[in-house]
Amino acid sequence: MDKVTAVAGIVAPLLRDNVDTDIVIRIERLTQQTREALGHYAFEAWRYHEDGTENPAFVLNRAPWRGAPVLLAGANFGCGSSREGAVWALMSMGIRCVIAESFGEIFYNNCFQNGLLPVRLAKAQLQTLADLAQTGASVKVDLVAQQITADDLTMPFEIEGLRRDALLQGLDEISQTLQLREAIRAWQRADREARPWIWSTMETARTGTLPRA
C-alpha cells in the first residue's frame, strides 16, 4: 500500500446522500473484471446510458472534474453491503480522497486498508467546498497537518491516530501486525514455557499425531 501524506487537485462535487456500494460498483463487475479495470465501471448507472455511451450530465464525465483525485460527497457515503471493491473502483478511476459528512462504517474501514483517504466534515463545511468546487478549484488535503486548504480557505479535520499513522506509513492491518512479529514470537516462546499443554494440544490438532512423551 502506498503512503498517503497529502492529496492535491481538482475536487469533484457529488453531494448526494446515501450513495451505496452497489452504486459505486455493481457486484457482478467484481467477478468479471480485474481490480485495475474496476474504475471504468465505477458509478456505472450514473456515468453511462443504457447503450454504453457516457452520460454528459454526470459530474465525473465533465470538465474540469473528469479525473479529479478528490471526491466531495454527502452523508452516509459507501453505505450498503460490505464491498471492498467499492474502494478499489474509486481508486482505479483516480480518486485518492473522499470528503463526506459521514460514511458507511465498513466502507470507511476499507478505505484505510487500501490507501484511500476518507475525511469527515460538517454539512456547512461541505457546502463551502461544494461552492468552491463549482468553480473548478483545486484543494490540498494534508493528512500530516490534518487540514484542507484552497487559496485563503483552511478547514481542519481529524483522523484517528492509529489510522492516520497507518496511512502515513502505508501500512494495512497485515503490515501493522508484521511490525510486531518479534514481540509476538517472544510472547509465544514465553507462553509455550508457561502453558506447554496448550501448545501440545495445538500441535496435535495441526498434525493429527500425539506429541512425544
pLDDT of residue 211: 53
Q: What is the pLDDT of residues 93-146, one digit of tens each?
A: 999 999 999 999 999 999 999 999 999 999 999 999 999 999 999 999 999 999
Q: Residue 154 has which C-alpha cell?
A: 483552511
3-state secondary structure of 44: helix
> If we measure between CA atoms, which residue out of 148, 36, 46, 34 comes closest to residue 98?
148
CATH 3.20.19.10 domain extents, the chain: 6-169
Amino acid in the structure at residue 90: L
Domain 6-169, CATH among 3.10.310.40, 3.40.1410.10, 3.20.19.10, 3.40.50.1110: 3.20.19.10
pTM: 0.84
